[in-house]
Chain A
Amino acid sequence: MDLSMLWYLVPSVVMFACGIYGFVTRKNLIAILISLELMLNSADLNFVVFNRFLFPGSMDGMVFTLFAIAIAAAETAIAIAIIINIYRSIGNTDVTEINKMKF
């Protein structure tokens, strides 16, 4: 039995689908962010898997994942700053409450 590409991609798909579910259903901003990280992670994993199985000679996928991780870090930092700020101003982090700028 071989560990082929498909083996790694299936958990990635599951991770991604869970991310979507969480992103759409969660009300808490941080929980949404967590779901986002799940999706991001699944994409990262795909890059690496494709790199390894299809282009084993190069390292583009890996480098891309490295960048993605860096960007994810940056993004999370900013997002969390914003979330904290929102919490300060309206007292919770519920997306349904954040509609002052709607329309």
Chain B
Amino acid sequence: MDITLPILILAIPITMFLVLGIGGVKMSHKLAGILGILGMGTTAVLAYIVAFTYFFSGDANFILDGVRQQYQVFDVTWLAFTQTLVVNIGFLLDPISAMMLVVITTISFMVHLYSWGYMEGEPGFQRYYAFLSLFSFSMLGLVVATNIFQMYIFWELVGVSSYLLIGFFYKLPSAVSASKKAFIVTRFADLGFLIGILLLSFYTDTFNFVDMTTNPEGVLASTGGATFMGASVLTWAMVLIFTGGMGKSAMMPLHIWLPDAMEGPTPVSALIHAATMVVAGVYLVARMFPVYCVVDAAMTFICVIGAITAFYAAVVACAQIDIKRILAFSTISQIAFMMVSLGVAYDKPIEGVHYSGLGYMAGMFHLFTHAMFKALLFLGAGALIHAVHSNNYTSMGGLRKYMPITHVTFLIGCLAIAGIWPFAGFFSKDEMLAAMFARHWFWGAWMTMVAGLTAFYMFRMYFLVFWWEENPHYKEHKPHDAPWQMSLPLIFLGAVSIVAGFIPFGELVTWNGEPYHIHIEAPVAATSLVVAVCAIALAAAMYMKKNALPTKVKNMCPALWTAAHRRFYWDEIYMFITHRIIFDIICKGIAWFDRHIIDATMDAFAKITQKTSYAIRGMQSGEIQSYVGWYIAGAVAVAAITWLCLI
């Protein structure tokens, strides 16, 4: 494949960033917006061409004997640590990276377009587009990484873009602290990632994904059976690498930044905190999948973390007021779904299971569909917020009459995430549940329950926003549908959410490149469908018309409701640890120690010298008589001593 297109895919966004970032101040809003949208549009087209070429051209580089290949378009040396351990910057094409190219550029383009309406007239409009371009560049660089270190580089860059975009309204203290929190929490996770890379690369002596994933047994062998604290070194490495993914993908207990990240502009939440960046963790696990498969402990760890997070986030989402937070927790829950799905997958046949890599395929499939419908939901939420100027559903209600387009598209999104046939979410969720049941009934049952909760809280929100009762404020300020720049992406993404499920995903993306024919697992599908419909019905019963039922339910167990509303006090725990312990005790303690012990010791040397000087300067009195006295005393002493010695 010609390297021009891949290079352009990376070069256009970064150029846009530089142009808009440096020259943006001098540009009009319109020019900046058009430049940004055009740039992203071009990138999207190029990415489609590349992905299409990869999947369908039949080139021997891409598909060999019906098996999709990993192909490094280019891979140039960036920094050589040692002779063998070399960091490259390259462009890896394989099923998941091609899929991610499509997802990222599509959503990013939609968000660019949408933002033109949403952010109109905001100060810093050019800056906003510059940051969006930076983010797109970083995310694209992340997914096409040929080696784990390149991934780490772009991993950090997306972290920074996320920081900049969450803190876009930098005059609001809440936005500033949210951005700071997001960056520091993910940075902490990245520390694990880094140590993981250090460990892994030390033993394998390579960063390259292809080298590692094609020979996972070799990776295992290279560690030579080294262990640390009871676990093998490779387990440590892979768990630590997964820690990085936990941070970015907001898995428990590193999830606390994502709800706060909703302080950023809503399109940003759609792009970064729903569709693309937060799935980086899933992508990372998928990327390293064959290596994970050789360390069972790490896979179990992923499953457990994913299952806990999915349930936790779903429960919390049921008790939130802010619609963006509900969506944020829903995102956490859905990503955890993907994690579990990857965790139950296996690279070798398991007895009694027709396809052991199903979880991998299903997770990727869900990543794809989720990106579409969650972006849709966020953009819809953006339209709602744009209309009523509040994030809380208490300021909404009965909006279906005022905002029909938003209503319909939002409903599509909700149906998709709830997993109702024939919407996209149904297909991907079905495959995931099938994979989980295939591994162990526990995972399947647990996650089916989470799926039911998902349907419940999504429709709770849907009914509270669009049905319930009309908010009296509408008389003063009549809400209306958004301008075309905002509606167009909604309609497009709504359409995608309807049809995406019919994409023969298994033919395109599997863990080893061999095609897999998706077929609906009837019992699993039926169960999940029934659960979802029941949940929706429950939500409809409770929230469709204004009634006292929700309050009653709440009063049945107020402590639980409060705890869920306060997100089970995770933030408070973190606040306690970071502020009370780390900041107040460790940092202040060290600073005190530095000033009062170390520095005081140094000062004490000076003081002792000074005191001694003062003490002996009395001898230097300037009185000739005392000088003579000392002189004579000295002379006598010297003479006497000499004399005694001589005798």
Contacts and interface: CB of A to CB of B under 8 A. Distances in A.
Asked if A and B bind, the verdict is yes
Interface of A: 20, 23-26, 32, 95-96, 99, 101-103
Contacts of A26: 625
Given A24-B632, A103-B617, 10 more contacts: A23-B628, A24-B625, A24-B628, A24-B629, A32-B624, A95-B623, A99-B622, A99-B623, A101-B622, A102-B622
B551 interface: no
A102 B632 CA distance: 22
8 contacts: A20-B632, A23-B625, A24-B628, A95-B623, A95-B625, A101-B622, A102-B621, A103-B622
Contacts of B624: 32, 95
Contacts of B628: 20, 23-24
A24 B636 CA distance: 15
Nearest to B629: A24
Q: Report which residue of A26, A95, A101 has the largest number of chain B beta carbons within 10 angstroms of its beta carbon.
A: A95
Contacts of A101: 622
A96 B624 CA distance: 11
Contact of A32 (B617, B621, B625): B625
Interface in B595-641: 617, 621-625, 628-629, 632
Nearest to B628: A23
A99 B629 CA distance: 18
Interface of B: 617, 621-625, 628-629, 632
Contacts of A24: 625, 628-629, 632
Contacts of B621: 102
B630 to A, nearest CB: 10
Q: Report which residue of B623, B625, B632 has the largest number of chain A beta carbons within 10 angstroms of its beta carbon.
A: B625
Contacts of A25: 625
Q: Secondary structure of the B side of the interface?
A: helix
Contacts of B625: 23-26, 32, 95
A86 to B, nearest CB: 13
Contacts of B629: 24
A20 B628 CA distance: 8
A25 B632 CA distance: 14
Nearest to A25: B625
A3 B229 CA distance: 103
A102 to B, nearest CB: 4
B616 to A, nearest CB: 13
Q: Report which residue of B617, B622, B629, B632 has the largest number of chain A beta carbons within 10 angstroms of its beta carbon.
A: B622
A96 B622 CA distance: 10
Nearest to A26: B625
A58 B621 CA distance: 44
Contacts of A102: 621-622
A93 B625 CA distance: 14
Contacts of A23: 625, 628
Nearest to B625: A24
Contacts of B622: 99, 101-103
A103 B618 CA distance: 9
B627 to A, nearest CB: 10
Contacts of B623: 95-96, 99
Contacts of A20: 628, 632
Nearest to A23: B628
Nearest to B620: A103
B612 to A, nearest CB: 16
Nearest to A39: B628
Contacts of B617: 103
Contacts of B632: 20, 24
Contacts of A96: 623
Contacts of A32: 624-625
A102 B624 CA distance: 12
A15 to B, nearest CB: 15
A3 B632 CA distance: 30
A101 B623 CA distance: 10
A41 to B, nearest CB: 17
A25 B621 CA distance: 16
A74 B57 CA distance: 116
A103 to B, nearest CB: 7
B643 to A, nearest CB: 16
Contacts of A95: 623-625
Nearest to B614: A103
A32 B628 CA distance: 11
B633 to A, nearest CB: 10
Q: Report which residue of B621, B628, B629, B632 has the largest number of chain A beta carbons within 10 angstroms of its beta carbon.
A: B628
Contacts of A103: 617, 622
A24 B625 CA distance: 5
A97 B364 CA distance: 98
A5 B624 CA distance: 33
B161 to A, nearest CB: 65
A102 B627 CA distance: 13
A44 B471 CA distance: 121
A32 B627 CA distance: 13
A26 B617 CA distance: 23
A93 to B, nearest CB: 13
A102 B629 CA distance: 18
B640 to A, nearest CB: 15
A102 B620 CA distance: 9
Contacts of A99: 622-623
A28 to B, nearest CB: 11
